[in-house]
Amino acid sequence: MFHSARLTLTAWYVLIIMVICLLFSVAFYHVSTREIQRLINRMSLEQQVESSLSPRELPPRPRNAPSLEELRELKHRSLVSLILLNILLLVGSGTASYFLAGKTLQPIKNMMAEQQEFIANASHELRTPIATLRAEMEGSLLEKKISDTQARALIRSNLEELGTLQELTNALLQLAHFNVPNDKVLTEKIVIKQLVAAARKKISPLAKEKQILITTHVPNLVIHGNRQSLTTALVILLENAIKYSSSASPITISAEQTAKLVAIHITDHGIGITKTDIPHIFERFYRADKSRSQTNGYGLGLSIAKQIIAAHHGSITVSSIVGNGSTFTIQLPA
Ligand code: ADP
């Protein structure tokens, strides 16, 4: 499909270039040969008149004046040169257009490959809970009799799987939602202290469960953006900090302002991230092997956070030492 699109685009490029070149060549040929044609016409007329005169009556010919044949030859040569030039342009523009069409289509090709990979990953993640649900229900149907306790256990397990499905579809929807940059929604005045407090409140049950203390050092700073989405980004980072830390391990949130940026740091003392994983953790569905085996998740949180921060024209970075913890830093325009 990519190849045929490349050929079509090449054909369009060549067509446009050749139409312009041909129009230009016709105009150029017309203008440049007009004078020659005029001379030819005049000389033909003179020849006709001269043929009716006796040699003695003939006026003297200027010395370097071109003959009629030479003029005709000159006109013919300009036509051949222009045709050759256009053929050369056709070949040159064809090659250049093919190359340019490839370059133009490359980002689309990459995007399509990315999208296909995303669909494959999403389907893969959705398949597991659906398959479990189905297997459990089919297993129960095969039983001749189900006791009340068994039925309740089945419903509880089904609900768990449905919860997983719900979480995953919510994450996918968030990805789709924050994928569309919309500057109109980035105009709320946000006090960072309030933003951090809102995010803290949302994850406090999770922190309590693991007896994790969250300390904040946030001065009075203000940015402009979308409160709801920035809270979502902070919640994602805080959830991860809790998820990838052992019980009672402290977490710190701090913020500071430099000349043009406001930076928010979230520091944990958890498992840390290896150097090989760091470049990939913001990719969709990426999970470090250790996380895969030890915690629940889909590898979508950080890509959602990154999308939100990018929509705010900011950046998100991480520094980490395995076994010592990680610091995620969000930088936003002040
Ligand atoms: P999830 O947490 O659902 O796996 P994320 O996109 O939020 O997905 O994170 C991607 C990966 O980055 C995680 O699987 C984990 O390996 C790593 N990661 C993210 N945050 C932390 C953290 N605070 N400490 C250690 N590893 C982390």
Ligand 1 centre to CA of 156 (Å) is 28
Which two structure tokens, joined as six digits, stand for 159?
A: 């609900």
Task: Using alpha carbons, list the distances in angstroms from residue 18 to 8, 11, 13, 44, 330.
Answer: 15, 10, 9, 36, 51
Q: Which of 203, 253, 268, 281 for a ligand 1 pocket mutation test, highest count of atoms within 8 Å of Cβ?
A: 281
Q: How far is the CA of 250 from the centre of ligand 1 (A)?
A: 17
pLDDT in the model for residue 228: 86
Distance CA 76, CA 68 (A): 12
Q: How far is the CA of 171 from the centre of ligand 1 (A)?
A: 14
Please tell me the predicted confidence (pLDDT) of residue 1: 78
Pocket test for ligand 1, best of 235, 242, 244, 321 (most atoms within 8 A of CB): 244
Res 70 pLDDT > 70:
yes
So what's the pLDDT on residue 87? 93
Q: Which residue has the tokens 């949302």?
A: 202
**Has residue 178 got a pLDDT over 90?**
no
Considering the chain, what percentage of its residues have pLDDT values greater than 70?
92
Query: Where does the pLDDT of residue 11 fall: very low under 50, low under 70, confident under 90, or very high at 90 and above?
Result: very high
Q: How many residues does the chain have?
A: 334
Distance CA 286, CA 300 (A): 7
Two tokens, residue 258: 């430099």
Average pLDDT over residues 36-43: 84
201's tokens: 């409140």
Q: Which atom of ligand 1 is nearest to the CA of 287?
A: 14
Cα three-residue angle 316-120-276, rounded to 5 degrees: 40
**Please, which residues have CB within 8 angstroms of residue 213's CB and are 6 or more apart in sequence?**
207, 248, 250, 251
Q: Which has more pLDDT, 67 or 77?
A: 77
Is the pLDDT assigned to residue 35 strictly greater than 90?
no
Q: How far is the CA of 299 from the centre of ligand 1 (A)?
A: 7
Mean pLDDT for the chain overall:
88
CB burial of residue 161 (10 Å; 0-12, 13-18, 19+): middle
Helix (H, G, I), strand (E, B) or coil at 144: coil
CA dist., res. 92 & res. 98, Å (int): 10
Q: What is the pLDDT of residue 180?
A: 62
Task: State in Å: Cα 219 to ligand 1 middle.
Answer: 28
DSSP string, 104-133: HHHHHHHHHHHHHHHHHHHHHHHHHHHHHH
User: Which of 20-24, 72-76, 287-291 is the most confident on average?
Assistant: 20-24
Under DSSP, the state recorded for 54 is: -
The closest alpha carbon to 199, from 168, 155, 237, belongs to 237
Query: Is the pLDDT reported for residue 325 higher than 90?
Result: yes
C-alpha 79, offset from chain centre? 48
Ligand 1 binding site (Cβ under 6 Å of any ligand atom): 240-241, 244, 268, 270-273, 281, 286-288, 291, 297-303, 326
Residue 94 CA to ligand 1 centre (angstroms):
48
> How does residue 183 score in pLDDT terms, banded at 50, 70 and 90?
low
What spacing in Å lies between the alpha carbon of 304 and ligand 1's midpoint? 12
pLDDT band of residue 222 (cuts 50, 70, 90) is very high
Q: Does the structure show a pLDDT above 80 at 55? A: no
How far is CA 261 from each of CA 252, 255, 257, 258, rounded to the nearest angstrom? Answer: 20, 11, 6, 5
Compute φ and ψ for 172, nearest 5 degrees: -65, -40
Which has more pLDDT, 228 or 319? 319
Q: Is 333 helix (H, G, I), strand (E, B) or coil?
A: strand
C-alpha of residue 287 to centroid of ligand 1, in Å: 6
Cα four-point dihedral sign 274, 275, 276, 277: positive
Best probe residue, ligand 1, of 290, 296, 302, 324 (max atoms within 8 Å of C-beta): 302
**Candidates 118, 273, 274: which one to mutate for ligand 1, based on the most atoms within 8 Å of Cβ?**
273
Sorting pLDDT into bands at 50, 70 and 90, what band is 61? Answer: low
Candidate ranges 57-61, 146-150, 183-187, 271-275; pick with highest mean pLDDT? 271-275
- Residue 199, pLDDT above cutoff 90: yes
Whether the Cβ atoms of residue 243 and residue 299 lie closer than 8 Å to each other: no
Q: What is the band of 314 on the pLDDT scale with cuts at 50, 70, 90?
A: very high
Whether the pLDDT of residue 45 is over 80: the answer is: yes
Question: Is residue 52 over pLDDT 80?
Answer: no
Q: Which atom of ligand 1 is least distant from the CA of 271?
A: 25
Report d(CA 264, CA 221) in Å as an integer.
10
Could you tell me the distance, in angstroms and rounded to a whole number, from the CA of residue 167 to the centre of ligand 1? 16
pLDDT band at 204 (very low <50, low <70, confident <90, very high): very high
Q: Kindly report the protein residue whose alpha carbon is nearest to atom 13 of ligand 1.
A: 287
Q: Say which residue, 117 or 200, is predicted with more confidence.
A: 200
What is the DSSP secondary-structure string of 261-298?
EEEEEEEE-SS---TTTGGGTTSTT---HHHHHHS---
Q: How does pLDDT run across 102-114, given as a tens digit for each residue? A: 999 999 999 888 8
Tens-digit pLDDT profile for residues 277-302: 999 999 988 988 776 667 778 888 99
Closest CA to ligand 1's atom 19: 240
Between 48-62, 152-166, 180-194, 286-300, the lowest mean confidence (pLDDT) is in 48-62
Residue 129: predicted pLDDT? 86
Q: What tokens were used for 250?
A: 């402290």
Specify the pLDDT at position 184: 61
Residue nearest to atom 16 of ligand 1 (CA): 288
Closest CA to 30 of 42, 38, 41: 38
Q: Which atom of ligand 1 is nearest to the CA of 297?
A: 3
User: What integer pLDDT is reported at residue 293 of this predicted model?
Assistant: 67
Ligand 1 atom, smallest distance to 288 CA: 16
